[in-house]
């Protein structure tokens, strides 16, 4: 299911931060690592001669990284390429050129207003790529302050088939990486009426949410997954999901997006979009179209 880890690099220590994760994933899934360096298309401000030099520099840079990966104890299979063009478009094109690709990218650890701006290359890739994208925020660490590990996978579900499209890949990752799977159903009831009626309605919604995730957990256990639990959370879904991720060290949150085409391909689901803007832990995004439905 995962045969290739595509890692876009730009020469910064931030982008290189995900390389140990790429090594672990490649070793665990017997996948290869593809490094990609994109040079912006020449413009009046960026002459062609400078682009040619940057391309050569990029090749030397990736060759050095590739030698390190193949010479490390993991002995990863690593290849590299330097492309000229629009970064986000080329990353998406490269990811979709081979089945079984996962895009692995590091993101800036912004806060406040800057965090709400998904205009970065990573933001554009996660919004439009058909391939799964794993984003690792700069500040994502384990309790010891080292690079985050993947020990638990948090999967928010809303009862729809779309949300469940993320499960085949996540279940596969949980089995291979021996992660615990945490199913989450978050609800935020807001109905008119007296406080007594609100309490009754809230209890009905809670029970329905709990029955759903319990049944889904039993279904996944029947598919061979043993380490699984669930949470039913009351409140604004995006807030509840990000709070749970923060309270769960060494976790990644996995969510599915709409399987749209054309211009609407750039529109993420509202909850997924909100989680991406607020997340301080890794987030795996899987597009709904073309995703396997069997575990």
Kindly give the confidence (pLDDT) of every residue in the chain, 295 residues in length, as a single tens digit, with 9 standing for 90 and above: 899 999 999 998 989 999 999 999 999 999 999 999 998 877 666 677 788 888 999 999 999 999 999 887 767 789 999 999 999 999 999 999 999 999 999 887 544 434 434 447 888 898 888 999 999 988 888 888 888 999 999 999 988 888 899 999 999 999 999 999 999 998 876 655 555 566 677 788 888 899 999 999 999 999 889 899 999 998 888 888 999 999 999 999 999 886 444 433 434 456 777 787 777 889 999 987 544 556 6
Q: Residue with structure tokens 């990609």?
A: 36
Question: Nearest CA to 273 among 263, 258, 261?
Answer: 258
Topology annotation, domain 142-295:
Rossmann fold (3.40.50)
The neighbour count for residue 278, using CB atoms within 10 Å, is 18
Alpha helices in 145-184 (DSSP H): 161-164, 167-177
Length of the chain: 295
Count Cα atoms within 13 angstroms, Cβ side, for 99.
4
* 233 contact partners, CB below 8 Å, separation of at least 6: 184, 185, 186, 187, 240, 241, 244
Topology annotation, domain 1-139:
Rossmann fold (3.40.50)
Output phi, psi for 283, to 5 deg.
-130, 130
Could you tell me the CA-to-CA distances from 1 to 28, 152, 169, 285 in Å, in that order? 12, 19, 7, 15
Which pTM value belongs to this model? 0.87
In the chain, residues under CATH classification 3.40.50.620 are 1-139, 142-295
């Amino acid at each position: 299911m995962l045969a290739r880890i595509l890692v876009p690099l730009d020469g910064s220590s931030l982008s290189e931060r995900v390389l140990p994760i790429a090594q672990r994933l490649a070793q665990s899934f017997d996948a290869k690592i593809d490094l990609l360096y994109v040079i912006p298309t020449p413009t009046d401000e960026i002459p062609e001669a400078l682009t040619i030099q940057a391309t050569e520099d990029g090749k030397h840079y990736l060759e050095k990284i590739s030698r390190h990966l193949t010479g490390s104890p993991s002995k990863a299979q690593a290849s590299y390429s330097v492309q000229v063009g629009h970064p986000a478009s080329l990353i998406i094109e490269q990811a979709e050129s081979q089945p079984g690709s996962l895009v692995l990218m590091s993101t800036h650890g912004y806060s406040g207003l800057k965090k709400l701006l998904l205009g970065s290359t990573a933001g554009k890739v996660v919004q439009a790529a058909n391939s799964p994208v794993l984003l690792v925020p700069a500040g994502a660490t384990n309790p010891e302050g080292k690079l985050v590990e993947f020990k638990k996978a948090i999967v928010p579900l809303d009862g729809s088939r779309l949300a469940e499209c993320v499960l085949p890949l996540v279940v596969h990752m949980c089995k291979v990486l021996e992660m615990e799977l945490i199913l989450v159903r978050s609800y935020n009831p807001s109905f008119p009426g007296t406080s007594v009626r609100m309490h009754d309605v809230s209890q009905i919604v809670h029970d329905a949410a709990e029955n759903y995730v319990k049944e889904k957990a039993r279904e996944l256990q029947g598919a061979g997954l043993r380490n699984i639990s669930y949470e039913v959370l009351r409140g604004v879904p995006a807030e509840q999901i990000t709070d749970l991720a923060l309270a769960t060290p060494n976790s990644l949150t996995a969510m599915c997006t709409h399987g749209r085409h054309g211009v609407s391909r750039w529109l993420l689901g509202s909850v997924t979009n909100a989680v991406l803007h607020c997340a301080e832990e890794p987030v795996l995004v899987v597009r709904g179209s073309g995703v396997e439905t069997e575990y």
